Amino acid sequence: MKSSENSNECFEILISNYEDIILARQKVKSFMQKTGFSVLAQTRIVTAVSELARNIVVHAGQGKMSAYQITKKRNRPGLKCVFKDQGPGISNIDEAMKEGFSTSNSLGLGLSGARKLCNEFHIESAEKKGTTISIVEWL
């Protein structure tokens, strides 16, 4: 977290099955509606949330998503979502971020796509140590 940002935790969702993904999407969507994000931004971020939450279910089995309301200088509000799991982790992040790379018979576009769908994207992972991904969208 950068020192110039203030953060306020809004909600936390435990993610372990497909119903939880829907819940995470709905919560993020309604939060963004309330904060005044455009419909397009809502769709982009909710799609990214869907991808990252599903990654938790598919690869780690369980984890959680925490959402924060953050503010930058000049009171510009934003949304930050942190996806954290204790799963197998990613051994080669650069490779995992490539379009078309998949270990689960999917399109391999989820991770690379999620990065393109939001303003800021940060990933931290090590083998057997789990994965933490945070995304930020500014209003």
**What residues line the site for another protein (CB under 8 A)?**
18, 22, 25, 39-40, 43-44, 46-47, 50-51, 54, 99, 106-107, 109-110, 112-113, 116-117
Measure the CA–CA gap between 87 and 72, rounded to whole angstroms.
32
Is 75 exposed, middle or buried, given 0-12, 13-18 or 19+ CB atoms closer than 10 A? exposed
Q: Point out which residues pair with 125 in neighbouring strands.
A: 131
Q: Which residue, 96 or 117, is less far from another protein as judged by CB?
A: 117
Q: Which residue, 72 or 113, is less far from another protein as judged by CB?
A: 113
Query: Cβ 22 to another protein, closest distance in Å?
Result: 6
CA atoms within 13 A on the CB side of 23: 13
Q: Which residue, 82 or 117, is less far from another protein as judged by CB?
A: 117
Q: Which residue, 47 or 71, is less far from another protein as judged by CB?
A: 47
Query: Cβ 113 to another protein, closest distance in Å?
Result: 3
Residue 74 DSSP class? G
Nearest alpha carbon to residue 25 among 61, 49, 52? 49
